[in-house]
Amino acid sequence: MKLGLYGINLGPCAEPEAAASVARAAEEAGFESLWTAEHVVLPDPQLPPSPVPAQTRLLDPAVSLAHLAAHTRTIRLATGIIILPQRNPLVLAKELASVDVLSGGRLIFGIGAGYLRPEFEALGAPFEDRGERADEYIEVIRALWTQEAPRFEGRFVSFSGIDAQPRPVQEPHPPIVVGGMSPPALRRAVRQGNGWYGFALDLDATAACVAGLRAAEQRVERPPELGQLEISVTPSVPLDADTVRRFQDAGVERLVPLALAGNAEDLIASLEQTADTFLASR
């Protein structure tokens, strides 16, 4: 079981010095990874299913992780998640390869298809075919990161006769983690992801998602080069030693609790307590 920290680019961590302090403290406490959130824009006024008020400060994931790469040494840096259909995949591949280079090969690339129609409309991104775009954009980015002479011919993206430098440090590429709990997201994780990520889940919801992943594995072909699907969850319940063990028994291999606090000092105290609880469960 690995331990991550979610929300390293919002709340207190939207301030650069606070984010660096929290990141260093998490690394020293034994956290394995730091995870960003993402919404480019949010509906104002807030309407369901928007997760937070529009005035919430939320730094761009790639920019935030590049900043934290300079203030840490070993902790992994994860996008948890980037809303992939809203992005130009060639630009995004460049941004995240740069993060992997600047961090010495510590990037985890987490993606999701998105769910807020007003956000898509504001960005001029099609909403109805977002799942198909997510599927294709993963392939596009993998091609840019791994092919000697990148080439792709798809429904939404086509290119040849180009190069895209730098390549990521990690080979064949940074791990790709697919977020989402819908049946298409579970199938996407099995078919295209090195891992799957579920946000704000209790034990019952986690068990249901793991069962869904296992069912998808029976219906969807998984390329052998992807290896075993690694399961990561941000829990919606407080963690104690018994709860950590129960998540592990459910098949979870990484827990990524929320960074909830009003300031950096309280957040550091909270993450140190979480680390102690997590270590006690081992």
* pTM greater than 0.75: yes
* pLDDT (tens place) for every residue of the chain, 282 residues total: 999 999 999 999 999 999 999 999 999 999 999 999 999 999 999 989 999 999 999 999 999 999 999 999 999 999 999 999 999 999 999 999 999 999 999 999 999 999 999 999 999 999 999 999 999 999 999 999 999 999 999 999 999 999 999 999 999 999 999 999 999 999 999 999 999 999 999 999 999 999 999 999 999 999 999 999 999 999 999 999 999 999 999 999 999 999 889 999 999 999 999 999 887 777
| CA dihedral sign of residues 23, 6, 186, 131 | negative
Cα separation, 11 vs 18, in Å, equals 10
* Of 2, 66, 75, 69, residue with least CA distance to 34: 75
How many domains, in total, are found in the chain? 1
Tokens matching residue 127: 């909403």
Cα separation, 188 vs 196, in Å, equals 9
Q: By residue range, what is the domain housing residue 245?
A: 2-280
CATH of the domain at 46: 3.20.20.30
Tokens matching residue 265: 């000092």
* Of 39, 29, 21, residue with least CA distance to 4: 29
| Sequence-distant (≥ 6) Cβ neighbours of residue 90 within 8 angstroms | 140, 144, 157, 159, 164
Report yes or no: 116 and 43 within 8 Å, Cβ to Cβ.
yes
Strands 254-255 and 230-235, bridge-based pairing: parallel
Task: Determine the pLDDT at residue 277.
Answer: 87
